[in-house]
């Protein structure tokens, strides 16, 4: 079954699809993500190293994160370091 679309609604759809009828916002500059740097890796490492008596799994995450950051795999390295910090925080390991 074929439906006929009134010409007026088709025109409105075309104008809306083209974006002509919608107000345009001024484009904002792109957001800069600064947390995927080697410097941030070092900052996270220092935060973990300040904690004494770290459990073995935290030390393993720290070592993996350091190795990955040193070999240019910054984002996965940061992920491991953040996970280690999260575990330290939520386990109640004293600072």
Residue in the block written with tokens 């904690």: 51
End-to-end CA distance of the chain: 72
Report the C-alpha gap between 3 and 25 in whole angstroms.
Answer: 36
Q: What is the pLDDT of residues 26-80, one digit of tens each?
A: 677 776 556 789 999 999 999 999 998 899 999 999 999 999 999 999 999 999 9
pTM, two decimals, is 0.62
Cβ(82)–Cβ(41) below 8 Å: no
Identify the pLDDT of residue 76.
95
Q: What token pair was written down for 3? A: 């439906």
Domain ranges across the chain: 34-95
């Amino acid at each position: 079954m074929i439906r006929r679309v009134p010409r007026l609604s088709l025109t409105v759809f075309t104008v809306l699809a083209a974006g002509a009828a919608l107000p345009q916002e001024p484009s904002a500059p792109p957001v800069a993500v600064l947390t995927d740097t080697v410097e941030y890796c070092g900052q996270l490492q220092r935060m973990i190293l300040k904690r004494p008596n770290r459990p073995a799994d935290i030390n393993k995450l720290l070592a993996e994160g350091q190795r990955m950051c040193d070999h240019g795999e910054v984002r996965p390295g940061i992920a491991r370091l953040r996970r280690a910090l999260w575990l330290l925080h939520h386990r109640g390991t004293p600072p």
